[in-house]
């Protein structure tokens, strides 16, 4: 009986070794007929390793199946199943015409400008004689303004007229230039049709010979009205002047000519 059991045991061991991770080594213990203790465990370690791996894989597979089909299993066995609540989604479409108008912007508070401090009048010292200036010296800045001569007026068909006033600007000039004659002033046609009036201040540089060298517009009244600029510049450049005299010699002097354009309907 014992020999039969031993045969079955050996046969089972050979079958198990065929389907297991077996280590290849020389089984000296079997040759020495030692079948107890640590030697047996070492000889059949591959069997224990195979059984452990198979059992672990089975446990993992079972856990995955249960977790994946838990809700189905609970519903099948009458357990409390989690009720899924349907969520309704609404899409709100807002047209541009439905939006209310934006609130009006509050006006900015007016800026309060600080009052300018009063400026003291410049102190003028005594006039001292200076060395004679060279003949080609140009006095480009002005400190005093004198009223010169008011001359001529011109009229044009259509009832327009204009006048030309001259104001001499000079600096330390003993004898300022004067106006000898002025050309006929032609009222601009566009300004006459539109009924425009105004004043243009032209600054002109007078040479040592009394000829105008260049002219530039310094002021307009009204400031944005440029229709009279061309005619006012022509008047300043075609006017005849006398040369300015400083210390007995002729010098270059700037002078300002205000040209007034006035309509007289008749």
Same domain, 52 and 151: no
Comparing 109 with 119, which gets the higher pLDDT?
109
Task: Report yes or no on 174 lying in a domain.
Answer: yes
Task: Report yes or no on 102 lying in a domain.
Answer: no
- Residue 149's Cβ-count burial label (10 Å; 0-12, 13-18, 19+) is middle
C-alpha span between 55 and 52 (Å, rounded): 5
Task: Report yes or no on 106 lying in a domain.
Answer: no
Task: Report yes or no on 77 lying in a domain.
Answer: no
Comparing 76 with 23, which gets the higher pLDDT?
76
Query: What pLDDT digit, counting tens, does each position of 31-69 carry?
Result: 556 566 666 777 778 888 899 999 999 999 999 998 988
Of 68, 99, 116, the domain-final residue: 68
Task: Report yes or no on 96 lying in a domain.
Answer: no
Same domain, 144 and 259: yes
Domain assignment of residue 255, given as a range: 139-263
C-alpha span between 261 and 228 (Å, rounded): 8
Per-residue pLDDT band at 157 (split at 50, 70, 90):
very low
For 98, which DSSP code?
Answer: G
Counting the structural domains of the chain, the total is: 2
Query: What pLDDT digit, counting tens, does each position of 222-256 carry?
Result: 888 888 898 999 988 988 888 888 888 888 888 88
Task: Report yes or no on 113 lying in a domain.
Answer: no
161-190 CB burial, b ≥16 within 10 A, e <16: bbbbbbbbbbeebeebbbbeebeebebbee
Residue 206 has pLDDT above 50, yes or no: yes
Same domain, 55 and 166: no
Same domain, 257 and 143: yes
Instruction: Count CB neighbours of 118 within 10 A.
Output: 6
C-alpha span between 252 and 93 (Å, rounded): 80
């Amino acid at each position: 009986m014992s020999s039969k059991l031993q045969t079955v045991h050996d046969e089972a061991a050979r079958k198990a070794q065929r389907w297991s991770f077996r280590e290849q080594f020389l089984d000296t213990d079997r040759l020495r007929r030692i079948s107890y203790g640590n030697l047996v465990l070492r000889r059949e370690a591959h069997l224990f390793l195979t059984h452990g791996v198979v059992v672990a894989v089975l446990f993992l597979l079972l856990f995955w199946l249960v977790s994946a089909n838990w809700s189905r299993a609970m519903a099948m066995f009458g357990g409390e199943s989690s009720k899924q609540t349907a969520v309704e989604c609404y899409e709100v479409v807002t047209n541009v015409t439905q939006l209310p108008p934006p609130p009006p912007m509050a006006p900015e508070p007016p800026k309060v400008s600080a009052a300018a401090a009063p400026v003291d009048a410049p102190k003028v010292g005594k006039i001292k004689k200076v060395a004679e200036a060279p003949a080609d010296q140009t006095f480009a800045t002005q400190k005093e303004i004198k009223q010169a001569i008011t001359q001529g007026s011109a009229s044009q068909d259509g009832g327009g007229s204009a006048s030309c006033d001259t104001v001499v600007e000079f600096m330390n000039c003993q004898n300022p230039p004067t106006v000898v004659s002025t050309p006929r002033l032609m009222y601009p046609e566009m300004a006459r049709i539109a009924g425009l009036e105004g004043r243009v201040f032209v600054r002109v540089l007078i040479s040592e010979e009394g000829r105008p060298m260049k002219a530039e517009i310094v002021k307009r009244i009204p400031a944005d009205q440029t229709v009279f600029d061309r005619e006012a510049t022509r008047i300043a450049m075609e006017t005849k002047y006398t040369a300015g005299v400083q210390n007995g010699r002729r010098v270059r002097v700037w002078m300002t000519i205000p040209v007034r354009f006035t309509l007289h309907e008749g």
